[in-house]
Each structure stands twice: as C-alpha cells, then as structure tokens.
Amino acid sequence: MVIELAAGDDRVTVDAAHGGRLASLVAAGAERLVHADEDDDPFGWGAFPMIPWAGRVGNARIADLDVDLEPNIGSHAMHGAVYDVAWSVDRSAGNAVELLCTIPTSRWPFGGIAAQRITLTVGCLELEIQVQAGTRAMPVAIGWHPWFRRPDKGDITVIVDSPAVLETTDDLIPTGDVTKVNRKLDLRRGAKLGRRRLDHAYVDVVEPAIVRWPDLELTMELPHKASTVVVHTPERGVCVEPQTAWPDPFARPEQSGATHLGPREILSARTRWTWKPR
C-alpha cells in the first residue's frame, strides 16, 4: 500500500508494503530521496526505519544472551528486522499516517511490535518510532536510514558536529575504540563531499545534522542530545543516519547506548527534519 501525504507544495510518499519507508520526499519542488533501482535492494533506497537494531550486529549474534540472528550481509545482521516487511496502516489523514508492524520472530526471537507516525507540514517532516517488547525483556537500538539524492548540478554538503568516529574492522564492526576525526572525516565545518567516500559512525554528535543541496538546506534534529550518526557517501547517494546507539549495539550495551526493555516496555524516538530554500 502506498500513502501520499501533502502539505503546501511538499509531498511525501510512504510505501507501507516495503518496510514502511519513505519512497519519496519532494521538498521545494525537487525529489530529495534515492528511488528504488532495478535490483530493488531493500537497503539501498528511500528512507526506512531500523528496528529493533540499527547498523550491523557482528556475526549476527548477541553473545551475552546466547541469541543468533539471521545474517543478511556476509556473516552479519544489518539494519534490523523490518526493512522489507509490510506494515499495516492504523490511521491516515491528508498529511499524516500511523503504521504498525509485528517484528518477525524469524529474525528477532524476542518478538515485539513497532509503530511509526509520519507527519508532514509545510517545510517540516516528523518521523516517530515506538518499539514495544513482547513477553520477554530485550535489548533495543533504533534509527532511520535515509538515502538522500545527490544534485544533478553542484555538490552536496553534510554537517555533523562530532569530534570522533568509531574505529571498526574492515567489515565495519566497531572495535570499541573511538578515534578523533582527521581532515577527511571532519564534517563540523560543512565541507562539500565531492568524491569523499565515507562509511563512518560519528559519536557524541551535537544536534542538529544538516544536509545542504545547492538549492535547499535540510536540518535534522536527532533522537538524543548526544547521538550516533552514520554517514555513508557512495556515488549513488548520501546517507545521514540518526541512531539511538552505536552500530553493533548489543556487543557493548553500556558503551554503545543500547536500551534494555522489560516485558511490554516501550522505547520511543523522534527525528524532525525542516528545510528552507537557499
């Protein structure tokens, strides 16, 4: 099911059948998200919620709980359990929609329920997530994975006010160490991305994060005052991913910021995007 939201000249398309994701965001008259390609890679387009974990879980295993997950990138489990799952529409209006999803136990043995509320007003998009544990306690870390479209002309700029990134293995699993940003990685002053290829988790980020096209500036409020933001900049698009915890969050829960939910407890998070023409 596809839901169209409108506010003034701004438009959002929500694809409930493909992970409850934003399939399109038209702001200031231009598309801002990457569309699905012919391969229809569920990780590679739109903007989707990462639930009940964000980023990768190393070796698809939560060692402390003796729980194995379903690998989906090499030996690791990436971007949660609902990225391609159909969500049901609980309530819909002209500029807002509420979605519900049962987290599949085949991918997440703890179960649980996820909910989203997506609200569009002129120059503003609010994305809210709630995750409720089932009858078992469970760890949780959530976030959003937007694929922003590069401009046809000019360059794109990303500003992330963070002094440090996570050190990772070659396959992007955090080692537990944090390193200061160097010249290439420093996004605090808003250098244009150019051909800079990043795939890094920025920590202790001071909000907001900013994405700037030649014609538009989008400001992204983060779920926490000191959040993790993953920035990924392949040729096909730019990802700026606000998360409530580090990638591989369950390996070091006290360090990563992962949340522990008791039975039926709820974790809520929100990001608010506002934009204005340049």
CATH number of the domain residue 249 falls in: 2.70.98.10
Residue 224 has pLDDT above 80, yes or no: no
pTM: 0.96
| Best CA proximity match to 65, nearest among 271, 222, 257, 253 | 253
Residues contacting 23, CB < 8 A, separation 6+: 2, 13, 14, 15, 33, 35, 36, 45, 46
Containing structural domain, residue 243: 2-277
Cβ distance 147 to 46 under 8 Å?
yes
pLDDT digits (tens, 9 = 90+) for 16-75: 999 999 999 999 999 999 999 766 799 999 999 999 999 999 999 999 999 999 999 999
* Amino acid present at 198: L
- Which token pair is 37? 């390609």
Is residue 40 classed exposed, middle or buried when 0-12, 13-18 and 19+ CB atoms within 10 A define those classes?
exposed
The pLDDT of residue 225 is 63
Residue 186 has pLDDT above 80, yes or no: yes
Confidence of residue 190 (pLDDT cuts 50, 70, 90): confident
Q: What's the chain's average pLDDT?
A: 95
CA–CA distances in Å: residue 149 to residues 46, 83, 172, 211, 215: 9, 19, 23, 11, 13
Total domains present in the chain: 1
Confidence of residue 227 (pLDDT cuts 50, 70, 90): confident
Q: Which of 11-25, 39-53, 98-112, 216-230 has the lowest mean pLDDT?
A: 216-230
- ∠155-207-204 over CA atoms, to 5°? 105
Higher pLDDT: 230 or 192? It is 230
Cα Rg of the chain, angstroms: 18
| Best CA proximity match to 116, nearest among 133, 98, 101 | 98
Residues contacting 154, CB < 8 A, separation 6+: 213, 214
